[in-house]
Structure 1
Amino acid sequence: MAEHGAHLTAASAFEDRPSIFEVVAQDSLMSAVRPALQHVAKVLAESNPGRYGFLWRWFDELYTLLDLLLQQHYLSSCSASFSENFYSLKRVPLRRDRRLPSRLATVGLPQKQHWKSLCLLALVPYLKTKLEKLVSRLREEDDYSIHPPSSSWKRFYRAFLAAYPFVNLAWEGWFLAQQLCYILGKAQHHSPLLRLAGVRLVRLTAEDLQALEKKLLAASAAQPPACSVKDRVKLAMKKALGGLAFSLSTGLSVGVFFLQFLEWWYSSENQETIKSLTALPTPPPPLHLDHDTASPLLPTLKTICPLCRKIRANDTALSTSGFVFCYRCAYNYVRNNQRCPITGYATELQHLVKLYMPEN
């Protein structure tokens, strides 16, 4: 198998078509950056829920906005996405006659292919993430009977949950079939999204690298002409957005090299150290949760739910804070707010732990 892989890489080195290893690597780059940024947002939200809690609650929207700015910058200046430019690739429009000269990377894509590429790069992952969260939430509601049996939507979302695995299988199978066709030389694209955008991936040429270097030097040495206040504001906003995208891309480029460290930190070789830390005695509760300065949300009786102020039914604890609620109350609150109602710590539905008392 190794000889076949080496043959594929060597064969593709004499043409502009990148190898399967290059295109798969650039696909996995952004999928590795997202969990790292999500972990940073979670740490900040847990350290100061009042100030940084919104980063966790609105992470998908904020990440999509940053991704749009980043991809817009690279598509405009390099005719490629951030990960494609990182691996020295560019996008070119599809054309029937390949003997025609290719567009330089600095020219950019045609307007139609540019906006298609931008939407498919940033919005499709966002919609897919939201759909997966919706499916997970509906499964939780169905397993624990959050909705009453007489709900008019019960039959609909049960049918949706039954059909989703087959739809997801067809989606992933489409991508796998496209990659197999790309390996065998039967397709110009390794991903159906590239075909929908009307582009294909090629390697950067020496002319592209020279043009990109000249553009960078010209941008740094250019002097802004005399213009009106309105034009200056537009120019300043354009420079600010460009600087934000450049700093974000540089930070991501550097942060990629620390992903290996994060993988080692959570690897099996490091589990002994983690176990030794978790074996330490339980620390005392925070000062702001003492009896004298307790939160006004906490009831006096320990059997009362802090949310509905009634005797708890189906006791459920939040693993992020340790407080106990009714399952229905905790589920609905965490689903809508993504935080603990008492401490404000970032919390997900997977952090709900059902408690089974001996009398039950």
Structure 2
Amino acid sequence: MAEFGAHLTGSVQTARPTYFEVIAQEGLMIALRPAMQYTCKILAERNPEHLGWLFRYADELYTILDSLLQHHFLLTTAASFSENFYGLKRVVIDGKGREDKTLSLPWKQHLLSMFCLVVMPYIKIKMEKLFHTFKEEDIDGYLTSTSDPLTRLKKTFLFVYPLVHMSWEGSALAYQMAYLFKKSDCHSPFVHLSGVKLSNLTRADMLNLMTKNETETQETTSGMNWLLEYSKKFLAVSAHGISQGLSVAVFFLQFLEWWYASENQESRIAVTSLPTPPPPSLSVEHDNGKFKSNICPICNRPLTNDTAISTSGYVFCYPCIYGYVKKHQCCPVTKYPTLHQHLIKLYLPD
């Protein structure tokens, strides 16, 4: 079946994958996230009022879809989606260094693999965004208080995170170098943490996977209820379709990642693509009631430290709009997707 080892990189396979194969399968998963984010961004730009939440929760949506995909492939092929795409499998290593070559992962290795494949990248992305948010607060002078416990915690995070990030990337580089020079069987610290190593699929493995799939299909049709049966079939067909499609579109995904690299930096919205909202009149209806053009729509007081949102053009008090965007990631009036880099301070003449 094409689902199993959809992209074999050579006609002669050895047990140990090449450095190109292990790096290429990691690059494949890195390319999928920007493609997902770009799709959510386009939908949010087309209908910001109703689909803006796709942009705000793009990371969560990707994590949910990624967890379903990885769970299916780990359960059926003993490999992640990208590893199976390049014809690789995960081999369990016990405490004595012996290999379990069966095409099934114990639940311990399965759960550890899910944690390293899905949860760890999500935590890393959220930590990076949190670091940039706290850095902006520090630059704007909001982290000057030494008596506030939350402020001290944020400043501690600003000091500790670069060290954690350096250790994270440094350990990954060290494992890759050790794997390249055949000093280690694991190319990544997270593969090592999962208690497995990567190996190439053999012809016998692929035949066993096909037989296993046919057997499970027969058992499902004979004994399971219809809802669970169709759920498993839908997940299997979806995973198979993605694997088949990517065998043709993988280079197109890489092209998208390069083409939209600058536009996707910090997951920015293209401001010019959003429809121009109507200008505020002297009295405009809003969630908080009526407000005038020189009144902040959030606090209903005269504007202080005027700050405009580039996505909509509306003006607010800087402390008000900063806190609102941090919590809701949208404009309070138009509901257009908005991030902190869309805030523009206005310096009026005396």
TM-score interval (norm. to shorter): 0.7 to 0.9
The one-letter amino acid paired with 2:128 is E
- Residue 161 (structure 1) aligned with residue 158 (structure 2): yes
Q: In the alignment, what sits opposite 1:329?
A: 320
Distance 1:176 1:223, change over 3 A: closer
CA contact (8 A) 1:33 1:256 kept: no
Matched position secondary structure for 1:357:
coil
Q: Bigger shift: 204-213 or 60-69?
A: 204-213
- Residue 198 (structure 1) aligned with residue 198 (structure 2): no
Tell me how far 1:219 sits from its aligned partner: 6.3
- Residue 350 (structure 1) aligned with residue 347 (structure 2): no
- Residue 256 (structure 1) aligned with residue 254 (structure 2): no
Distance 1:97 1:177, change over 3 A: closer
The TM-score with structure 1 as length reference comes to: 0.80
Q: Aligned equivalents of 1:217 and 1:49: distance in 2?
A: 45
- Residue 240 (structure 1) aligned with residue 234 (structure 2): yes
CA contact (8 A) 1:299 1:305 kept: no
The one-letter amino acid paired with 2:111 is W
The one-letter amino acid paired with 2:77 is C
Q: Aligned equivalents of 1:101 and 1:308: distance in 2?
A: 64
The one-letter amino acid paired with 2:251 is F
Q: Aligned equivalents of 1:251 and 1:289: distance in 2?
A: 45
Q: In the alignment, what sits opposite 2:106?
A: 110
Q: Aligned equivalents of 2:311 and 2:211: distance in 1?
A: 52
Tell me how far 1:215 sits from its aligned partner: 4.4
Bigger RCO (CA 8 Å, 6+ sep):
2
Number of residue pairs matched?
330
Q: Aligned equivalents of 1:259 and 1:114: distance in 2?
A: 28
Distance 1:284 1:49, change over 3 A: closer
Distance 1:250 1:59, change over 3 A: farther
CA contact (8 A) 2:309 2:343 kept: yes
Tell me how far 1:291 sits from its aligned partner: 5.0
Question: Any residues of structure 2 matched to 1:176-325 within 5 Å, and which?
Answer: 176-215=173-212, 224-225=221-222, 227=223, 231-250=225-244, 255-263=249-257, 265-266=259-260, 285-286=276-277, 291=281, 296=286, 301-325=292-316
The one-letter amino acid paired with 2:179 is Y
The one-letter amino acid paired with 2:183 is K
Distance 1:217 1:257, change over 3 A: farther
Long gaps (5+) in structure 2: 1-8, 263-270
The one-letter amino acid paired with 1:78 is T
Q: How well do the aligned residues superpose, as a CA RMSD in angstroms?
A: 3.3
Q: In the alignment, what sits opposite 1:138?
A: 134
Q: In the alignment, what sits opposite 2:168?
A: 171
The one-letter amino acid paired with 2:45 is E
Q: In the alignment, what sits opposite 2:38?
A: 39
Distance 1:136 1:206, change over 3 A: same
Q: Aligned equivalents of 1:97 and 1:296: distance in 2?
A: 66
- Residue 84 (structure 1) aligned with residue 83 (structure 2): yes
Q: Aligned equivalents of 2:220 and 2:328: distance in 1?
A: 49
Residues 261-315 of structure 1 deviation map (CA, whole Å, 9 limit, x = unaligned): 42564489xxxxxxxxx9x9x99944x5575996536965432222112222222
Q: In the alignment, what sits opposite 1:272?
A: none
Tell me how far 1:29 sits from its aligned partner: 1.3
Question: Any residues of structure 2 matched to 1:8-157 within 5 Å, and which?
Answer: 15-95=14-94, 96=96, 102-103=101-102, 107-146=103-142, 149=145, 150-157=147-154
The one-letter amino acid paired with 2:312 is S
Q: Aligned equivalents of 1:189 and 1:202: distance in 2?
A: 10
CA contact (8 A) 1:146 1:328 kept: no
Q: Bigger shift: 107-116 or 332-341?
A: 107-116
The one-letter amino acid paired with 1:143 is I
Matched position secondary structure for 1:302:
coil
CA contact (8 A) 2:46 2:274 kept: no
Q: Aligned equivalents of 1:232 and 1:263: distance in 2?
A: 40
